[in-house]
A and B are shown apart, each in its own frame.
Chain A
Amino acid sequence: MKLITDFAPVPFARRQAVLGLMGLALGAAALVLPGPAQAQFRVEISGVGATQIPLALGKFKDESRSPQPLAAIVKADLERSGLFKTLDATADRLDETSAPNMADWRTKGADALAAGSVSPLADGRFDVRYRLWDVLKAKNQGGHSLVVPPADLRLAAHRIADDIYEQLTGDKGVFATRIAYVSKVGRRYTLLVADADGENAQAALTSQQPIISPAWSPDGRQLAYVSFEGGKAVVVGQDISTGQRRVLASFKGTNSAPTWSPDGRQLIVTLSREGGSQLYVIGTNGEGVRRLTSSNSIDTEAAFSSDGSLVYFVSDRGGSPQIYKVPAAGGNAQRVTFSGPYNISPTLSPDGKWLAYIGQVSGAFRVHLMDLSSGDVRVLTETRDDESPSFAPNSRLLIYATRSQGRDVLMTTSLDGRIKATLTTSQADVREPVWGPSVAARP
């Protein structure tokens, strides 16, 4: 058996995956994962995509000596994307130094195989190693080593899932990203930051008054949000790692709907300081207020295009709330949505291709997706009370809130609407999800 020793952390070459139409009609599958004791969410997947890559994956060698079930985290991430199904390779006791027989694995139905190990180090950190094999090409794709403190073991597993996802689909993974959302239990509101799988939720703010409209800064270090703690709506900015807060907008009347520009240098907020609800541009410390819209109607819910040149927003200047766009530097607004009586909550994909929003269809509020190049619109859900759609940073998934069985819940969907995952919690109503950016190194 040949020992594989190439463990310098290497950048991974992307492989352009060829996803054939295999037509796997597997139907709905509910998948309850054996998460750690502090798990707040259960993940359920219903509906599958046209193809799923079979990946053989077993427990990492010695992972029981670490506080996190690394293989289960990787498996859950990949399966939640809907693009993978995993074959359990635990019995084969593989790790990154193994030389598995590719023909055997091909026979078992695997297209790819991943194996790894976890070793505790003398200083308390863990050395997490893994390797990916392309079974169809009988090729060793390379290995990776991550040395992390115990608190970052889940993050290490997410980064491994991201790497496997990238290598096998050609798209950037989003498993090592974070989401923010608001939870309401009775009269207590909490702004929470969690991993994209819903685990590891931590409270950024707890309040007896409503918290709404959280928005991530482009560098993932801050959240802006609306807090009613002072008796009216005020926009606050908060550094997530330090908890330091500052008021961004507290003018006369209502201050709301913050959104950051892609370069992180400005925010747009909705203010009623001059009457009505209008869009204003402000600096990252609330300075330099510049009015962007001037109408006698409601203008709110601004969202920048990914290149920062356009601002999409909601206006009822035409009689009912519809989505418009205006140049970020100011100018004439153009209407964007033309079907449906009520279209709100615009959000733009980072790749510049899509606009997602909430549109009313026969009385139900549903997530819609518009192809910005063609204007074609598709409805992605069949639920009735959807709100707050937000793109994953790879532009492949949307997170949104909806109502299911009497509770507010968070869900993700693929852009074709076929792969949906429910992140549910048993005790709280959860709403207002926003997907954080991909960041090179989390603080």
Chain B
Amino acid sequence: MTHRFTTLMTTAAAAAVLTLAGCASSVKLDEPTKAPISSVPVDGSANSANAGASSTVAPVVTTPGTSADPVANLAKVIYFDYDSFVVKPEFTPTIEGYAKALGGAKAKRLMIEGHTDSRGGREYNLALGQKRAEATVKSLTLLGVSAEQLEAVSFGKERPVAEGDTEEAHAKNRRAEFKSR
């Protein structure tokens, strides 16, 4: 109890200082932030005896689906067959998810990185990775995404996620990755 009283006194003193300062000059408190947050205040004032208490903290819980990054919950990678640039039907939901997210956030930009497995020449694989990235971009623009929001780039075989000469490793490396810019 004593500790709390001390805290109260300190807080009051601090408040007094602030108020005094406020008299002397116009102190600008933080401007309201532009972050798109939404929240639901939890009603904690059921106990009327505590109404007006200085030490109350009002708990707030964020609502799902309104976080700042519209693509946060989407898959980051799609995979390709050997020697292919076709965006496979199994990834249609991912593509549609990105198309929707980008449509609703015109300032949002996405870099699509194309990759290949380790077989073959570096520069030719750089070009193959570029084809995969561009095919992915095309699947998005076909769904109405603006080209300005997208850039297709390639890492060829320079950034494998799986090492080794196995089919399993090759399959993991043949991919396009979605990167927010």
Contacts and interface: CB of A to CB of B under 8 A. Distances in A.
28 contacts: A210-B155, A210-B158, A210-B159, A231-B153, A253-B152, A253-B153, A254-B130, A254-B154, A257-B126, A270-B126, A272-B127, A272-B134, A275-B134, A276-B130, A298-B124, A298-B127, A298-B128, A298-B131, A300-B126, A300-B127, A301-B124, A314-B121, A314-B123, A316-B124, A342-B120, A344-B124, A345-B121, A387-B122
Given A231-B111, A232-B111, A253-B153, A277 B121 contact: no
Contacts of B127: 254, 270, 272, 276-277, 298, 300
Main secondary structure of the interface of B (DSSP, over half): mixed
Size band of the B side of the interface?
20 to 34
Question: Top 6 closest A-B pairs, CB basis?
Answer: A277-B127, A232-B153, A210-B158, A298-B127, A344-B121, A254-B154
Interface string A188-219: 00000000000000000000001011000000
B153 A254 contact: yes
A344 B127 CA distance: 13
A275 B127 CA distance: 11
A323 to B, nearest CB: 11
A275 B85 CA distance: 14
A275 B131 CA distance: 9
Nearest to B134: A275
Interface in A297-340: 298, 300-301, 314, 316, 321
A275 B155 CA distance: 16
Nearest to B83: A320
Contacts of B134: 272, 275-276
Contacts, number: 86
Contact of B126 (A233, A275, A321, A342): A233
Contacts of B130: 253-254, 272, 276-277
Nearest to A234: B153
Contacts of A232: 111, 113, 151, 153-154
A89 to B, nearest CB: 46
A105 interface: no
Interface string B105-147: 0000001010000001111101111110010000000000000
Nearest to B147: A252
Nearest to A299: B127
Interface in A270-297: 270, 272, 275-277
Contacts of B158: 210, 212, 228
Given A212-B158, A275-B134, A276-B131, A254 B124 contact: no
A213 B124 contact: no
B1 to A, nearest CB: 57
Contacts of B152: 253, 272
A358 interface: yes
A368 to B, nearest CB: 13
A256 interface: yes
Contact of A301 (B123, B131, B153, B159): B123
- Which residue among B113, B120, B152, B153 has the maximum number of chain A CB atoms within 10 Å of its CB? B153
Interface in A234-287: 252-254, 256-257, 270, 272, 275-277
A210 to B, nearest CB: 4
B151 A253 contact: yes
Contacts of A277: 126-127, 130-131
A228 B155 contact: yes
B130 to A, nearest CB: 5
Contacts of A321: 121, 124
B146 to A, nearest CB: 14
Nearest to A357: B121
B122 A212 contact: yes
